[in-house]
């Protein structure tokens, strides 16, 4: 399945790095969402990308935007990584069923058993307004997120 721009974002519920359930639909009507799928915690490119998001969060729309990051790592790996890197946004575990949410968004690599670098900007009504998918070794450009979010305003 592939999620297309203009279509509804599939809802999901996963646990964050603290074991708290996070549901995409909880943000409907309240915040735009930047949904970031990444391959693995503690890897160089993933750390660099999420640290950039952490540092640039105020320029991504501030309180009107919620960043949600998802990988197949366990909640415990996310907690250790999140504390090490001081991530304030939820790191969600798509651990079991393995990669099910990534698969529902069309960004799961079944051969490698992990998500590719897919990002979806979802508006307050739950509609996908922008997306990008990069190959696993190719970092994403945060300026593109900023541009997509500016178009929602």
Hey, which residues are catalytic here? Answer: 46
| Tokens (6 digits) for 138 | 């190719």
Distances (CA, A) of 74 to 4, 5, 9, 80, 136: 28, 29, 23, 10, 19
Task: Give CA–CA dist 71/66, Å, rounded.
Answer: 17
Judge whether 67 and 60 are in contact, CB under 8 Å.
yes
């Amino acid at each position: 399945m592939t999620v297309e721009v203009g279509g509804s974002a599939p809802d999901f519920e996963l646990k964050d790095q603290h074991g708290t359930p996070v549901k995409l639909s909880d943000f409907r009507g309240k915040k735009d969402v930047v949904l970031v799928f990444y391959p693995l915690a503690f890897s160089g490119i993933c750390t660099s990308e999420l640290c950039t998001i952490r540092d640039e969060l105020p320029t991504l729309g501030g309180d009107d935007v919620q960043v949600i990051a998802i990988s197949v790592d366990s909640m415990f790996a996310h907690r250790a990584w999140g504390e090490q890197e001081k991530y304030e946004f939820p790191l969600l575990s798509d651990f079991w069923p393995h990669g099910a949410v990534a698969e529902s968004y069309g960004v799961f690599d079944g051969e490698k058993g992990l998500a590719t670098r897919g990002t979806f900007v979802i508006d307050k009504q739950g509609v996908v307004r922008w997306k990008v998918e990069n190959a696993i070794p190719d970092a994403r450009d945060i300026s593109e997120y900023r541009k997509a979010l500016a178009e929602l305003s």
